[in-house]
Chains A and B, each alone.
Chain A
């Protein structure tokens, strides 16, 4: 399966794991070393700092990124989709562009669940990668602030291949302060409302286009003892998708834009409170069943509930298709349906608006010894061969040439649905946790987890979010 499309960096690992391993393990390597803990209370401290020590020493050394200028390294999020990047690297290393720049690219695959902490540590050390995978926006903000990124704005402007190679909205979605720092390198990942066609046919339902229809469907499904929506509440980021869409439908994309731009008062927008209240009504109404807080997406719990017909719908990123294809191929091929998120009566958001992750990006380490080689490598992402490899893997590339290639996708209908959805969206809201970065994003997760677990009311949620910093 392909993945790498989890929400925040931490979650990304989890979502990435979902299809392939079914392992809850976002446990870091450090977690394992805590086992003989009873001997030393100090254990926790020393282990925490064992990692830090390396970082500290590295700070002083001030060396360049790893490599001698001949070979540059690229860190990539390790999952099934890596084969596309590996093929890209192999192709590039044999190309004229690589020979001209005088070197080759070496791909280092970092296991998904460890990707973010590992990148963090590596970027502070002498063995930092020259090129690295990231989620754009808030996820790279600390690196930008530490002066570790190459500003690609001029390079892109001055190069027709890069400038015209990608969908402008996607290229812009990863920006920081209007400057480009990354080149799109994987498929698009909008959040979609998936439904079980068999269940819907059996109970004569249609995918909801309005909130009232959705509530009406829920009543009928509950009568039939079917949970309306699967939800992996343990992971929290699936909860977040509900808020993202509801806030968009109620108040439009401007509401979160304000928060994203650093105005914490933006959480006080009535649309946020309304969205939180709608969520609370759904929970109290049993729309997610009674056990969702202990169901996980990562370990395959939520997808299984959905695929086996215990739940009728699932709001999830576009990777749900490949997850289901991996775990329940029959269901994915025959009964998996997809639709846009419904409108909410009285809301101002356009039904075509999309939330989710535009794509993943390659960024270049400012300390690289061979920038020409790195830029040359990034250009390959705009090539037709690269886009075709993504398509063959079931992804929908964000390149300008993708539309023509969609018919060769393993599931052209689904690929076209995704492409049109993103192409026609008046606004593509980046997943909130990614837009806000690790610091704020994690704290926001905590508040959302409390809202969904019933530990805080919608108004308490709003107050708590306003206080985040």
Chain B
């Protein structure tokens, strides 16, 4: 098919570089997007990187200090703790959200009317502002006047689980939607064939649904991992990094360095580290899962 089209084109006019791009919009169309990205992402990122090599308290001029902030990043015990917490939070959030979102998504992919209605309701938490959600849960978890009158946010495990839960409560609907879309893409014939071969509901789920959803899982995982790395307001409102420093994940540490101690150089170093970590992790994830090669899930069909 492609071959015929190519032939038809070459017949019309000689193959120029322009012809190779036939059917694609002119590069100028990308300009607004590129400009937007440059001013609101690239420039700030470059500035943050620059500031990470300086010391600056928000007044006066930034003073270059070479690698000091980055050395401090390596030595700081709070940084090590934060990094550990961020990793644990990421893993815990991923496990919690993926399991539930995948099951809900596959369930919601069914065409029954009750499922459509319930899916719509499930989606609501995602529409709320995370600040509002955090304030709400903060009130619910109040140790003296809340619903659960226990020291939930005062213990490390309690505070940590509360953050994982509140984050999950908000973002599971989003990932459910992704899985619902993914599950609806799976060709019906696969299930019909499996049914003829005598596969039951669970066998169908593990042998057809899961493998067919592997790209969806990658997409959702990348979003969750990168999202967890920048998780912030829930921590700020629910625990302020406490008790002690038990829930002070990287973005919170960055906020504290920047807007509480006004050490913008160090805060920028943490910010730059986050950018590198998030980018690196996404690349690794995409590579490891073979998502980048864009091999079709329909291979061999």
Please name all residues of chain A whose beta carbon is closer than 8 Å to the beta carbon of B139 when the two chains form the complex.
Answer: 299
Check B260 for interface membership: any CB of A closer than 8 A: yes
Could you tell me the distance between the alpha carbons of A236 and B242 in the complex, rounded to whole angstroms?
A: 10
Check A199 for interface membership: any CB of B closer than 8 A: no
Tell whether, in the assembled complex, residue A25 and residue B144 are in contact, meaning their CB atoms are under 8 Å apart.
no
User: Can you name the residue of chain B whose Cβ is closest to the Cβ of A235?
Assistant: B240
21 A/B residue pairs, CB under 8 Å, sorted by A? A26-B240, A31-B232, A34-B232, A37-B230, A41-B226, A44-B271, A46-B45, A46-B48, A49-B268, A50-B40, A53-B47, A59-B61, A123-B58, A124-B59, A145-B59, A148-B59, A291-B144, A292-B154, A294-B159, A294-B243, A301-B144
Tell whether, in the assembled complex, residue B274 and residue A50 are in contact, meaning their CB atoms are under 8 Å apart.
no
Check B145 for interface membership: any CB of A closer than 8 A: yes
The 8 A CB mask of A281-306 against B (1 = contact, 0 = none) is 00000000011111100010100110
Could you tell me the distance between the alpha carbons of A455 and B244 in the complex, rounded to whole angstroms?
A: 7
Tell whether, in the assembled complex, residue A291 and residue B143 are in contact, meaning their CB atoms are under 8 Å apart.
yes
Tell whether, in the assembled complex, residue B244 and residue A449 are in contact, meaning their CB atoms are under 8 Å apart.
yes
CB distance from A80 to the nearest CB of B (A): 22
Could you tell me the distance between the alpha carbons of A301 and B143 in the complex, rounded to whole angstroms?
A: 9
The 8 A CB mask of B249-263 against A (1 = contact, 0 = none) is 001001110111111
Tell whether, in the assembled complex, residue B230 and residue A295 are in contact, meaning their CB atoms are under 8 Å apart.
no
Tell whether, in the assembled complex, residue A31 and residue B244 are in contact, meaning their CB atoms are under 8 Å apart.
no
CB < 8 Å neighbour of A24 from B41, B237, B274: B237
Tell whether, in the assembled complex, residue A293 and residue B45 are in contact, meaning their CB atoms are under 8 Å apart.
no
Could you tell me the distance between the alpha carbons of A210 and B12 in the complex, rounded to whole angstroms?
A: 102
Q: Report the stretch among B112-120, B201-209, B275-283, B288-296 that lies at the interface.
A: B275-283
Tell whether, in the assembled complex, residue A301 and residue B271 are in contact, meaning their CB atoms are under 8 Å apart.
no
Chain B contributes a number of interface residues (CB within 8 A of A) equal to: 74
Check B129 for interface membership: any CB of A closer than 8 A: yes
Check B151 for interface membership: any CB of A closer than 8 A: yes
Check A439 for interface membership: any CB of B closer than 8 A: yes
Please name all residues of chain A whose beta carbon is closer than 8 Å to the beta carbon of B44 when the two chains form the complex.
Answer: 45-50, 52-53
Q: For this complex, into which size category does the number of interface residues on chain A fall? A: 35 or more
Residues of chain A in range 35-59 having any CB-CB distance to chain B below 8 Å: 35, 37-38, 40-50, 52-53, 55-56, 59
Tell whether, in the assembled complex, residue B251 and residue A44 are in contact, meaning their CB atoms are under 8 Å apart.
yes
CB < 8 Å neighbour of A42 from B41, B57, B138, B232: B41
Tell whether, in the assembled complex, residue A442 and residue B256 are in contact, meaning their CB atoms are under 8 Å apart.
yes
Check A100 for interface membership: any CB of B closer than 8 A: no
Residues of chain A in range 3-46 having any CB-CB distance to chain B below 8 Å: 10, 23-28, 30-32, 34-35, 37-38, 40-46
CB < 8 Å neighbour of A299 from B138, B171, B243: B138
| Known contacts A52-B51, A52-B264, A291-B151; A146/B59 CB under 8 A | yes
Could you tell me the distance between the alpha carbons of A14 and B38 in the complex, rounded to whole angstroms?
A: 37
Most B CB contacts (10 A, CB to CB) among A26, A52, A295 go to: A52
Please name all residues of chain A whose beta carbon is closer than 8 Å to the beta carbon of B237 when the two chains form the complex.
Answer: 24-25, 27, 31
CB distance from B205 to the nearest CB of A (A): 27
CB distance from B242 to the nearest CB of A (A): 6
Could you tell me the distance between the alpha carbons of A45 and B56 in the complex, rounded to whole angstroms?
A: 16
Could you tell me the distance between the alpha carbons of A236 and B260 in the complex, rounded to whole angstroms?
A: 14
Please name all residues of chain B whose beta carbon is closer than 8 Å to the beta carbon of A37 when the two chains form the complex.
Answer: 226-227, 230-232
The 8 A CB mask of A330-359 against B (1 = contact, 0 = none) is 000000000000000000000000000000
| Known contacts A27-B233, A52-B51; A294/B43 CB under 8 A | no
Check A453 for interface membership: any CB of B closer than 8 A: yes
Check A257 for interface membership: any CB of B closer than 8 A: no
Tell whether, in the assembled complex, residue A439 and residue B261 are in contact, meaning their CB atoms are under 8 Å apart.
yes
Tell whether, in the assembled complex, residue A301 and residue B142 are in contact, meaning their CB atoms are under 8 Å apart.
yes
Please name all residues of chain B whose beta carbon is closer than 8 Å to the beta carbon of A30 when the two chains form the complex.
Answer: 255, 259
Please name all residues of chain B whose beta carbon is closer than 8 Å to the beta carbon of A456 when the two chains form the complex.
Answer: 244
| Known contacts A38-B223, A455-B245; A28/B259 CB under 8 A | yes
Could you tell me the distance between the alpha carbons of A305 and B142 in the complex, rounded to whole angstroms?
A: 11
User: Can you name the residue of chain A whose Cβ is closest to the Cβ of B130?
Assistant: A35
Please name all residues of chain B whose beta carbon is closer than 8 Å to the beta carbon of A294 when the two chains form the complex.
Answer: 141-143, 151-154, 159, 243
The 8 A CB mask of B13-45 against A (1 = contact, 0 = none) is 000000000000000000000000000110111
Tell whether, in the assembled complex, residue A453 and residue B59 are in contact, meaning their CB atoms are under 8 Å apart.
no
Please report whether the interface of chain B is mostly helix, strand, loop or mixed according to DSSP. helix
CB distance from A330 to the nearest CB of B (A): 18
CB distance from A243 to the nearest CB of B (A): 15
Please name all residues of chain B whose beta carbon is closer than 8 Å to the beta carbon of A38 when the two chains form the complex.
Answer: 171, 223-224, 226-227, 230
Could you tell me the distance between the alpha carbons of A294 and B34 in the complex, rounded to whole angstroms?
A: 46
Closest 7 CB pairs of A and B: A41-B278, A294-B154, A293-B154, A38-B227, A291-B143, A49-B44, A46-B44
Could you tell me the distance between the alpha carbons of A295 and B240 in the complex, rounded to whole angstroms?
A: 12
CB distance from A403 to the nearest CB of B (A): 38
Please name all residues of chain B whose beta carbon is closer than 8 Å to the beta carbon of A27 when the two chains form the complex.
Answer: 131, 233, 236-237
Could you tell me the distance between the alpha carbons of A121 and B108 in the complex, rounded to whole angstroms?
A: 48
Most A CB contacts (10 A, CB to CB) among B40, B58, B237, B239 go to: B58
Tell whether, in the assembled complex, residue B245 and residue A446 are in contact, meaning their CB atoms are under 8 Å apart.
yes
| Known contacts A27-B237, A294-B154, A304-B145; A44/B230 CB under 8 A | yes
CB < 8 Å neighbour of B282 from A41, A50, A299: A41
Tell whether, in the assembled complex, residue A45 and residue B45 are in contact, meaning their CB atoms are under 8 Å apart.
yes
Tell whether, in the assembled complex, residue B229 and residue A41 are in contact, meaning their CB atoms are under 8 Å apart.
yes
User: Can you name the residue of chain B whose Cβ is closest to the Cβ of A34?
Assistant: B232
Please name all residues of chain A whose beta carbon is closer than 8 Å to the beta carbon of B59 when the two chains form the complex.
Answer: 120, 123-124, 142-143, 145-146, 148
User: Can you name the residue of chain A whose Cβ is closest to the Cβ of B150?
Assistant: A291
Could you tell me the distance between the alpha carbons of A420 and B282 in the complex, rounded to whole angstroms?
A: 64
Residues of chain A in range 86-137 having any CB-CB distance to chain B below 8 Å: 117, 120-121, 123-124
Tell whether, in the assembled complex, residue A32 and residue B131 are in contact, meaning their CB atoms are under 8 Å apart.
yes
User: Can you name the residue of chain B whose Cβ is closest to the Cβ of A11?
Assistant: B260
Most A CB contacts (10 A, CB to CB) among B59, B129, B150, B229 go to: B59
Please name all residues of chain A whose beta carbon is closer than 8 Å to the beta carbon of B279 when the two chains form the complex.
Answer: 41-42
Could you tell me the distance between the alpha carbons of A123 and B141 in the complex, rounded to whole angstroms?
A: 39
Could you tell me the distance between the alpha carbons of A236 and B226 in the complex, rounded to whole angstroms?
A: 31
